[in-house]
Amino acid sequence: MAIKTFAAIEVGSSQLSMKVYEISKKLGFRELDHVRSTLSLGVDTYSKGIIGFEKVNELCEVLKRFRFKMEEYQVDGYTAVGGSALREAKNRDLIVDQIRIKTGLTVKIISNAQQRFYIFKSVAYKMQNFEQLIKEGAAIVDLGSGSLQVSCFEDGVLTSTQNIKLGSVRIREILSEMEDKTTSFVNVMEDYIGNDMRTFRRLRLKNHKVRHMIVVGEEFSSIINYVNMTKNKEFLTGEQFNKIYGKLLKSTPSEIADKYGIPYELASVIVPSSIIYKRLADATSVDRLWEPQADMCDGLAVDYSERVEKFVLSHDFERDILSCMRHMTEKYESSTDHISNVEMLAMELFDGMKKISGLNQRHRLLLRLAALLHDCGKYISMSESIKASFQLIQMTEIIGLSETEKEMVAYIILYNSYPEIPDYDQQDLQMTKEDFIAVIKMAAMLRLCNSMDRSHKQKIEGIRISVKGNELKITADSLYDLTLEQGTVHARRQTFEEIFGLVPVLRQKRNN
């Protein structure tokens, strides 16, 4: 049984962390070592917008030590990522370059959606009762130094996720100058946090039934491990948390640090974190607050195991992505029957062309998402609906997709409206030319499937695909008159033919 050694590094807002794992396809992964170092990068980013050179030098020194530790374990691979402190720093590219030169390590700055997806993976892997909790109704509350992510699950699937700029360190830095000007700094924090939380509750939580809060973050881990007076270190009941909350609000950071043996830097953010947990618990029907003992490094290890060892998680994240996007279509009041029909046609067309399209299963998901989301823009503008859909997708976090994949979905929809093939060199794109070619192929497929429901009456129940010579024969099962659909397919055949070298022809087989 082949065993690989892997290192996961997180450059966080308040600390740097590295875990070393043994990984095998059969056994999953086992943690061998965990080293970390406190470094308040977020204080610079959230207060000044850049990270000072002294902290950059300190960052590089810590990463050098991590590199030596990796060499001791003779790791087969590593992943190093930076979250919000690096992502929001104006000098982030220079910092990454300095890290590469001084340490030899490549740090990838990841988007918020990617960061949260790694957390999802770690929680799903490490919590044995995860599937049961999300079936009953749960929210993953991922509170970082820079922001808060609340992701709601119902009936076992993700239904919504939202990011709020309410990170524990960010709050402390924004309000720090007010601390000496009031006798009740807790009230100031409650007022500041309460405004965003009330809006979030009204817009995002009102239709969700949440029985369980799965709370990720060192602040809650400290509460349940040091402040909690019960023997149970797995969860707190709502009543237990309320008692702890009352005690914390009456204590200063110094008192919390001294009483519970917590570093002052951590103690200083426990109160704002607790206010956020309390607001969320009060806004839902939470029975228990769970500590999953999972973090970003664990998520990176799961991701590496999936990519390299072909390890398969029991939770279906693709189903989550589709579920969340279907809820988005409901939010923007898309034509449910139309998008379901186009989605079905797109999948049958994709599967029927898989041997000749050069596209893979991941592309299948991206096309499916484009089919689901292409109509959302009509909520904003009937006359500019495609452009509005394109912009909505660009502004929407889709946890489970990379930034490039999200861009691809947006452009599949945009190019679906183009009568001619766009020129890659004249587009302002982040994606590679290879991705661009895949996008225009999928856009041509979506354009064809939209043509087959031009009337929005879902006349076609299913299609079968065959190739004869230079003709792509699409046989539609339908009892209805398809004159409009056949004419629209014929009118839009040119770009499809230029891309695939095949002329699409829609023919009808009437069901009995």
Give the CATH number of the domain where residue 464 resides. 1.10.3210.10
Higher pLDDT, 292 or 28: 292
Q: What is the pLDDT of residues 321-335, one digit of tens each?
A: 999 999 999 989 999
Average pLDDT over residues 57-70: 96
- HSE-up of 358 (CA within 13 Å, CB side)? 9
Q: What is the pLDDT of residues 421-466, one digit of tens each?
A: 989 988 888 899 999 999 999 999 999 999 999 999 999 999 999 9
Cβ-in-10-Å burial (0-12, 13-18, 19+) of 171 comes to: buried
Instruction: Tell me the Cα Rg of the chain.
Output: 26
User: Would you say residue 120 lies in a domain?
Assistant: no
Domain co-membership, 73 together with 157: no
Domain co-membership, 105 together with 133: no
**pLDDT at residue 165, rounded to an integer:** 84
Cβ-in-10-Å burial (0-12, 13-18, 19+) of 163 comes to: buried
Domain co-membership, 210 together with 344: no
**pLDDT at residue 70, rounded to an integer:** 97
The DSSP string of 402-446 is -HHHHHHHHHHHHHTT-SSPPPGGGS--SS-HHHHHHHHHHHHHH
**pLDDT at residue 436, rounded to an integer:** 95
Query: Measured on CA atoms in the order 52, 53, 55, 60, is the torsion positive or negative?
Result: positive
Q: Which of 79, 110, 141 is the last residue of a domain?
A: 110
Is the separation of the CB atoms in 143 and 429 below 8 Å?
no
User: Would you say residue 118 lies in a domain?
Assistant: no
Give the CATH number of the domain where residue 221 resides. 3.30.420.150
Cα 371–Cα 501–Cα 340 angle in degrees, nearest 5: 15
Look at the chain and report how many structural domains it folds into: 3
**pLDDT at residue 233, rounded to an integer:** 85
Is the separation of the CB atoms in 323 and 158 below 8 Å?
yes
Q: What is the pLDDT of residues 6-63, one digit of tens each?
A: 999 999 988 899 999 998 877 778 899 999 998 989 888 888 899 999 999 999 999 9
Average pLDDT over residues 388-406: 92
Average pLDDT over residues 484-510: 91
Domain co-membership, 95 together with 134: no
**pLDDT at residue 348, rounded to an integer:** 96
Place 298 in a pLDDT band, splitting at 50, 70 and 90: very high
**pLDDT at residue 510, rounded to an integer:** 64
Residue 274 Cα distances to 148, 175, 217, 255, 341, angstroms: 13, 16, 11, 16, 46
Rounded CA gap, 368 and 350, in Å?
A: 10
Average pLDDT over residues 407-412: 96
Query: Measured on CA atoms in the order 449, 398, 120, 205, is the torsion positive or negative?
Result: negative
Asked if residue 352 has pLDDT above 80, the reply is yes
Asked if residue 478 has pLDDT above 80, the reply is yes
Tell me which residue has tokens 């895949």: 438
Lowest mean per-residue pLDDT among 92-106, 197-211, 399-413: 197-211
Nearest to 500 by CA among 430, 447, 445, 418: 445
Residue 95 in tokens: 């910092």
Lowest mean per-residue pLDDT among 83-92, 150-159, 261-270: 261-270
User: Would you say residue 304 lies in a domain?
Assistant: no
What burial letters (b/e) apply to 81-106, b meaning 16+ CB within 10 Å?
bbbbbbbbbebbeebbebbeeebebe
Rounded CA gap, 47 and 43, in Å?
A: 6
Place 196 in a pLDDT band, splitting at 50, 70 and 90: confident
Nearest to 213 by CA among 163, 144, 139: 139
Asked if residue 208 has pLDDT above 80, the reply is no
Q: What is the pLDDT of residues 112-159, one digit of tens each?
A: 899 999 999 999 999 999 999 999 999 999 988 778 899 999 999 999
Q: What is the pLDDT of residues 154-174, one digit of tens each?
A: 999 999 888 888 877 788 777
**pLDDT at residue 212, rounded to an integer:** 95
Average pLDDT over residues 199-204: 78
Question: Which residue range(s) make up the domain with 23?
Answer: 4-110
Is the separation of the CB atoms in 173 and 167 below 8 Å?
no
Domain co-membership, 180 together with 73: no
User: Would you say residue 254 lies in a domain?
Assistant: yes
User: Would you say residue 123 lies in a domain?
Assistant: no
Give me the chain's average pLDDT, please: 90
**pLDDT at residue 93, rounded to an integer:** 95
Place 309 in a pLDDT band, splitting at 50, 70 and 90: confident
Nearest to 25 by CA among 312, 314, 313, 311: 311
**pLDDT at residue 371, rounded to an integer:** 97
Asked if residue 380 has pLDDT above 70, the reply is yes
Domain co-membership, 337 together with 199: no
**Cross-strand partners of 290:** 214, 235
